[in-house]
Structures are given as C-alpha cells and as structure tokens.
Amino acid sequence: MNPTPARERICLLTGGGYPYRRDALSGWCRTLVEGLRRFRFELLTVTDREPPVAPAYPLPLNVGSARAVAVGRDFKRHELWRDTRLDEPDDEPPKEQPKEKKPSRQEKRDTAERARAAAALLCTGLIGEAGNAEQTFSDGLRQLADDIRVLPGLPLADALIDAWRTGHAEPGELPLPRLSVRDARTAATLLRHALGALTVDLPAADLVHCIGGTTPLLTALAGRWRQGVPLLLTEARAPVARHKPHEERLSPAVRTILRRFRGSVARTGYAEAGLIAPLSAYHHSWALRHGAHAAKLVQVPAGVDPSEYPGAPELESDPAVVWAGSGGPDSGLSPLLAAFEQVAAALPGTVLHLVGVTAAHEEFCAEQIERTGLGRAVRLHPLPADPRDRYTAGHVVAHVPGPADPPYRLIEAMMSGRAVVGVDVGPAAETLGDAGVLVQPGDPAELAIAIVDLLRAPGRRRALGDAARRRALMHFTNDRVVRVYGALYADLAAPPPPPAFELALAVPAPRSEPPVTLRWLVSERTDG
C-alpha cells in the first residue's frame, strides 16, 4: 500500500494576529488555514507589544503548532503558548542545556568589530549618501541575522551620528532635521528593540507566508537567510509614510529614522520574496514604487464568506450608522466622530454604533466620545461572535479607515448589503466602485452630508446596498482567495521536479556536409 504523501508545511507568520486576536486580518488568515486543509500550517505570531495569552480561534487539525512570541528589549523571547498536534511528543524529558563557555578577550574584540561593521552598514543604508543605499542596508541586516550575538552591543547611536553627517533627503522630503546625541540614543534604543525580531527562530517549514508588518517581516527575512526557506509576502497593510500617533512625542530626527527603517525593511522584503501578493491595485502600485519587481507581484483581492454576511433587511428603528474598527488612535475614529457631530445635529436621534472596539482601546474611545458631548448617541460594541450581527444595527455604514488599514471591513459591509459611505483613502475607491458613495479625506462636513443624504433617502440607500452586495459576490469571495493561494503555495512550497534526462553531445554538430549518419561524430574542423 502506498504511504500517505507528506503535506507541504506552511509557516504562517503574522504580527500579533491569528490565531490570538479576533480582527479582520485574523479572519482572513483563518480562511486560508481552514480552506487549505491539504497543507500543514505552523502558526507563528511575533509582536513587540503586550502578547496574547491564548488563541481566540479553535485550531483545525491541519495546524501542527502555534506560538506567540514577544520580543523584549533585552532580546529575550517569551514563548507564551504552544499547541503541538501532529508529531511532537509532549512527554519527553527536557534536554539538559550545555553550559555556555565564556568568550575570551579576543572573541569579545571580534564580536565588537563585527557589531561596528554591521551597525555602519545598517545606518549608512538608512541615512548616508545616496547610491546603493538599499543594498547597503540589506547587507547590514543580513549580517545581524547571521550573527545575532552582536545585537546587544550594537553601537547604533555612534553609527547614526556618523551617517547623519553625509545624510541625504529622500525625493520629496525636507532636508534632514538636526540629530542630537540624545536623539541618536533614543533612535538606537528603538531600532535595537525592533531588531530583536531577527532572533526569533522559525518552525521547520517548506514555505514562509508573511502577512505584512515590519516585525514579522524581520523574522521572515532572518529565516530566509539562515534556512533558505522560500518567502511569500502578502501586502495587507502598506507601510505608513507618516509617523504613528504614539510617536508624536519623538523628535523629527527620530521619526525620520523610524520611517526610513520601516521602508527599508519593506524594500528588503520585496527583494527577498519569491512572490508578493498585494490585496489591491493600491498596494500593488505602492510596492512597485518602492522597488518590487513586477514579475513577482500577484494581486489577490481580499474576500469574505457570503454565508457569514447574508444581507439582512433593515431594522425598524431610529436612524443608525455603523462603523467597524479597533477604536485605536490610528483607526479613523477621530474624523468619524467629527462628522457624526454634524449628523446628530442634522438628524436628532441618530445613533452611531462602534463595532469591534477592542478592550485595549475602550478607554481611548470613551475619552473621545466625551469630548464631543455626544453621550448616549454613540454606543460601543465588542466584535460580535456571529458576523451576521456586525452591521445589522445600521442603516448606513461609514467606512472611515486608518491610513494603512486593509479593505476587509469595507468588503464585509458590502457583502452585508448595507449602503456604504467611504472615505477615499487606500484601496477604498477600487473596492467600492460605483456601489457606494465616496468622499474626500480630511473633510468631516462632506462625510456628514453624504451620510445624512442616505439616511433621508431609503430607496437610494437600499439600491446602493443591493449593488454593493452584488459587487462583493462578484469580486470578493473567500473561494477565490483560497483557490489562488493554494496555487501559490503549491508553486513555492512543492519540492523541485526530478531532473530530466536529456541528450547532450560533447562534439558540436558540424557545418560541413559529411554523411548524415556520421555528421554528429565529425569535428567541425578537419585536418587536410
């Protein structure tokens, strides 16, 4: 009897997401894992934030292991949870670890020299003279991945100051701001913390599928260089050009360094990936502008399960607006509340439902709502366990995303058959098409007018909701996503084909005219 063929092993690598957090991106990952049961998945999530405690989703039988790893500032990795299902015995006694030999003085000097060389390459690639900057950065990053022992003593502050002297402004960027010694030390601390992701070991796999983000991508790159595993990169969130909200207190010089670091890591990922799968034409064009080769790009739009969003009729209630998001500082909440103040003034009694607000951001949401004075007109809801309940409370869905949010929530709203008013950022326009209303970003008044117009026009509202569902069924379903990724996995993770035998003649065919039966034996030049 033939043995059961081994399944290709896929390391699904995320940045603090599936299976530990319930959000749109985690739901998309779950779709892949449960839809591609012919592959074995090793789940790894790497984060530099507060790590998850236990999985938020039940794991199917084709999951071999799951790990959550928090990268600390001292480069110690904390593995918080692990599930071994297939062939990893739990009852083996722990192996005794050999005692580490203390390095000699010469070894310490050699380590310090390697650290200086790697730091110089990294910072010159980030800040120094233009030219082959990306390759210089990549070389420095690779040296660190190959020799992680140098990370704790990496002299990044000195290297940043040296590189700043010959630094250049990127196209369309203002001249470099002043870099103080304190700024250099702050940036060095933040970079050293981020580089801790290079120390995370990948599980044994035939392919690493990295779902965007600087932290997981650093881990994927280290695994790519150390183990030679093929890399598939999904561009779910395009890197944000501006600084993040929690970085506002940092100096302009430090923000510049962090922004360039994220961009350089992304471009290194583009160079190393075997294939890049952007979610939209917006993500596709961003990748092209930042160095990705067109031949590596395979656009795979996001999708949802139509059965989870069947399209329920509108409730007989006061006018209601739904917004779905985490509720964090960079989630689009602030411009939404600014617009809803005007909606509530134009249509008293209108309710705003904030769906999916995470526990970590409830306090921030409450503070923002209190500032507006909207009171009970705004209601917070955790993410419903049943997706059918996510958008049913509203008559209109306001899609006001964060600057780097993928279009999952927009597709969910469209599949639910609700009329959508969206802000034209990222891939919103290409996703919504003519099946909704788009307004320009940065104009709460225009957003409020569009919402009020739809709340006052039930016929137009329902027509747009039907059109949105038809468009989602045509372009954004899970079966399309699973089918395409199954082909990509098979292409990158499958073993190479067996070598083919072909006839190779040691003597080239002559250009003279000997008999046909002897032609292949005769040298092209004959002695006379």
Alpha-carbon dihedral angle through residues 345, 351, 352, 358, given to the nearest 10 degrees: 140
Of 415, 421, 402, 406, give the one whose Cα is nearest residue 322.
421
Question: From the centroid of its chain, how far is CA 288?
Answer: 16
Which residues, including other chains, have CB under 8 Å from residue 458's CB and lie 6 or more apart? Answer: 314, 395
pTM: 0.83
Residue 519 has pLDDT above 80, yes or no: no
- Cα separation of the two ends of the chain: 65
Q: Give the three-class secondary structure for 234.
A: strand
Per-residue pLDDT band for 28 (boundaries 50, 70, 90) equals confident
- How far is the C-alpha of 26 from the C-alpha of 12, rounded, in Å? 11
The DSSP result for 26-85, as a single string, is: HHHHHHHHHH-TTSEEEEEEEESSSPPSS-SSPPPTTEEEEEEEEEPTTS-EEEEEEEE-
Beta bridge partners of 397: 322, 420
Give residue 357's pLDDT. Answer: 87
At 368, list the tokens.
């923002």
Beta strand 63-71 pairing with 77-84:
antiparallel
pLDDT in the model for residue 275: 94
Is omega for the bond preceding 19 within 30 degrees of 0, making it cis?
yes
Query: How many other CB atoms are there within 10 angstroms of residue 239's CB atom?
Result: 20
* Closest by Cα among 328, 347, 324 to 450: 347
pLDDT of res. 100: 62
pLDDT value for 98: 60
Nearest in space to 71 (alpha carbons), one of 88, 39, 49? 49
Q: In angstroms, rounded to a whole number, what is the distance separating the alpha carbons of residues 163 and 145?
A: 21
**In the predicted model, what is the mean pLDDT of residues 303-325?**
90
Task: For residues 272 and 247, give the distance between their C-alpha atoms in angstroms, rounded to a whole number.
Answer: 29
**CA 437 – CA 439 distance, rounded (Å):** 7
Q: Is the pLDDT of residue 123 over 80?
A: yes
User: Which tens digits make up the pLDDT trace of 411-444?
Assistant: 999 999 999 999 998 899 999 999 999 999 999 9
Residues 432, 422 contacting (CB under 8 angstroms): yes
pLDDT of 77 over the 60 cut:
no
Q: pLDDT digit string (tens) for 473-513?
A: 999 999 999 999 999 999 998 766 666 554 444 444 444 45
Q: What is the mean pLDDT of residues 153-170?
A: 88
> 115 is written with which tokens?
């650290």
pLDDT of residue 512: 45
- Beta-ladder partners of 84: 65
- Phi then psi for residue 355, to 5 deg, are -105, 130
> What CA–CA distance (Å, rounded) separates 172 from 257?
16
What was the pLDDT predicted at 153?
87
289 band by pLDDT with thresholds 50, 70 and 90: confident
Q: Which DSSP symbol is given to 196?
A: G
